[in-house]
Amino acid sequence: MHQSDIKTNKNLTILSIESSCDDTACALVRYDGTVLAEQIYSQKEHIQFGGVVPEIAARAHLSHLSALVQKTLAQAQIDWKEIDAIAATCGPGLIGGVIVGSSFAKGLALAQNLPFIGINHIEAHALTVRIPNISPLQVNFPYLLFLTSGGHCQCINVTNIGEYQRLGGTIDDAAGEAFDKVAKMLGLSWPGGPALEALAKEGDENMFTLPRPLYGRPGCDFSFSGLKTAVANLLTDYETTDVLPRQFAADVAASFQKAITTAIINRLENAIKLAPNSTLLATAGGVAANQYLRKHLLALAEKYNLPFIAPPMKYCTDNAVMIGWAAIEILHQASKHHKLMNDISMLPRPRWPLSEMSQRFDV
């Protein structure tokens, strides 16, 4: 199907699917950013394991996707003839879940004779802040994005659709992974990030001095494994204890949250200097829902006279709305290049660098 067959200048409506980790999601998104309907199933199957089990995640996606699509269509009260294309995450992510979601979406596209658009999960996060009405700010290019989640931690200079310059990233654990693992050390329930943030409110963030990895060094890479080990060392006196004293655990949580935030802000300060033309500082990803971190990101942006934008918390975590919006952005950009936009042959990928996104528009 040629790009001109897709009604980019009319009421373009995308059915989108996200299945890269442990959230099974479906949405209907219009060309103007209006969310006609959305459904999400946050998998509870992993709670007993204290983390995401890839095989269980893939099976859960397979079990719930069909019902979620039907509920989404019913919620929007539209039928297939009103849908212009189907989009789904094709990577990066847990490959089992990516295969399930993208294959299901391709099957729908073939059955309904609709084009399929394969979406890079990271690109979708990067473009979330451009969804109209998501904030009072109009987000123009270029802007600096801090992407932070359980699997990713990157500084990205977003210069256009398909044009992303990775300024720095994690060299070991992502921030969300560090939050979850420290939370598990403290005996908190999964997912650990929100639980740790809540506990930290009861603690003294200055009680323990923890390392700020890479603080003061050039560049904007991140490293959190040493910080995680430092927290483990604080707990050695309680190795035979089933339950930590609550105040002690709260002080550790608060001290950890301060240390990781301080390190992040220092690395982002370097990123701002590496992207001097940025119109604003944006954040996205699950950890961007952390209010303590958001407060310090806002202060950093104000220090450099930059507007700051973060999506609503429900769009920080994995969701299908960002997948649909990314498809809309890509379709409009592709129309300028007169490109074919049926990605039905696209293979799911566990890794998919943003540097490859511009290839969509190569003439």
Around Cβ 169, how many Cβ atoms within 10 Å? 15
Please say if the pLDDT value at position 229 is more than 60: yes
Please say if the pLDDT value at position 1 is more than 50: no
Q: What is the pLDDT of residue 133?
A: 81
Please say if the pLDDT value at position 65 is more than 80: yes
Please say if the pLDDT value at position 240 is more than 70: yes
Quote the mean pLDDT of the chain: 93
CB 292 within 8 A of CB 253: no
3 pLDDT band (50/70/90 cuts)?
Answer: very low
Does 121 show up as a binding residue in the annotation? yes
Please say if the pLDDT value at position 8 is more than 60: no
Q: What is the pLDDT of residue 135?
A: 78
User: What average pLDDT score do residues 245-261 get?
Assistant: 98
| DSSP secondary structure, 168-213, as one string | EEBSS--HHHHHHHHHHHTTPPSSHHHHHHHHHTTS-TTSS----T
Q: What is the pLDDT of residue 10?
A: 57
Which of 40, 50, 1, 6 lies closest to 323 in space, CA to CA?
40
Does 318 show up as a binding residue in the annotation? yes
Around Cβ 81, how many Cβ atoms within 10 Å? 7
6 pLDDT band (50/70/90 cuts)?
Answer: low
Does 197 show up as a binding residue in the annotation? yes
Does 91 show up as a binding residue in the annotation? no
Q: Where are the domains of the chain?
A: 3-128+316-361, 140-310
Query: Phi and psi of 290, rounded to 5°?
Result: -70, 120
CATH number for the region 140-310 comes to 3.30.420.40
DSSP SS3 for 35: strand
Tell me if the bond preceding 142 is cis, omega within 30° of 0.
Answer: yes
Please say if the pLDDT value at position 113 is more than 60: yes
Does 33 show up as a binding residue in the annotation? no
Please say if the pLDDT value at position 4 is more than 60: no
Q: How far apart are CA 325 and CA 310, in angstroms?
A: 16
User: What average pLDDT score do residues 218-247 get?
Assistant: 94
Domains 3-128+316-361 and 140-310 share a fold: yes
Q: What is the pLDDT of residue 303?
A: 98
Q: What is the pLDDT of residue 107?
A: 98
Please write the tens of the pLDDT for every residue from 265-316: 999 999 999 999 999 999 999 999 999 999 999 999 999 999 999 999 999 9
Q: Structure tokens of 58?
A: 């893939």
Which of 92, 83, 113 lies closest to 18 in space, CA to CA?
92
Does 206 show up as a binding residue in the annotation? no
Does 180 show up as a binding residue in the annotation? yes
9 pLDDT band (50/70/90 cuts)?
Answer: very low
Q: Which residues contact 193 (CB under 8 A, 6 or more apart)?
A: 150, 176, 179, 180, 183, 286, 287, 289, 290
Q: What is the pLDDT of residue 48?
A: 86
Q: What is the pLDDT of residue 317?
A: 92
Q: Which residues contact 30 (CB under 8 A, 6 or more apart)?
A: 11, 12, 13, 14, 36
Does 32 show up as a binding residue in the annotation? no
Please say if the pLDDT value at position 7 is more than 80: no
Does 137 show up as a binding residue in the annotation? no
Count the helix, strand and coil residues of the chain and give each as a percent rounded to the nearest 5: 45, 20, 35
Q: Which residues pair with 283 in a beta bridge?
A: 146
Tokens 């301080």 correspond to what residue? 262
Which of 142, 139, 123 lies closest to 131 in space, CA to CA?
139
User: What average pLDDT score do residues 207-234 get?
Assistant: 96
> What's the whole-model pTM score?
0.94
CB 212 within 8 A of CB 256: no
User: What average pLDDT score do residues 317-323 get?
Assistant: 97
CB 222 within 8 A of CB 213: yes
CB 107 within 8 A of CB 137: no
Does 337 show up as a binding residue in the annotation? no
Does 9 show up as a binding residue in the annotation? no
Length of the chain, in residues: 363
152 pLDDT band (50/70/90 cuts)?
Answer: confident
CATH fold of 3-128+316-361 reads Nucleotidyltransferase; domain 5 (3.30.420)
Q: Which residues contact 220 (CB under 8 A, 6 or more apart)?
A: 155, 167, 168, 267, 268, 270, 271, 274
Around Cβ 121, how many Cβ atoms within 10 Å? 25
256 pLDDT band (50/70/90 cuts)?
Answer: very high
Does 150 show up as a binding residue in the annotation? yes
Position 50: which residue type? G
Q: What is the pLDDT of residue 360?
A: 82
> Distances in Å between the alpha carbon of 213 and those of 82, 152, 197?
51, 17, 20
